[in-house]
Amino acid sequence: MSSLSKDVKLVLKSQGWSEERDISSSLEFVQEKKLFPISKKVISNFGHLKVKDQGQHYNECIYFDVDDSLPSKNLRANVYGYEKFGMSGLEE
């Protein structure tokens, strides 16, 4: 990932990312979803990350929920203020 700046790498690493990160074995996609090989590589490296970044005038959180696995569902729940998937009482 040589195109990432030093600052971006620092933020990502503080959230558990590494250049060697590969979560491909924990990804779940419906059969109808077709992915290009490069998209699988990117998803395997950045998927399931929750990146928090605070600056002087902002506070942001970026969620990389990319598939249909429980970790992605939990990230989606976080977006709406729930700790984990299923806490809202709503069906999928």
Query: pLDDT at position 1, please?
Result: 43
Reading the block at residue 66, the tokens are: 């990319």
Tell me the C-alpha distance between 77 and 41, whole Å: 25
Per-residue pLDDT of the chain (92 residues; tens, 9 = 90+): 458 899 889 889 988 899 999 999 988 888 777 888 888 889 999 998 888 877 777 777 888 888 888 888 888 888 888 888 887 665 55
Query: pLDDT at position 36, please?
Result: 87
Beta strands in 1-92 (DSSP E): 50-54, 59-63
DSSP label at 3? T
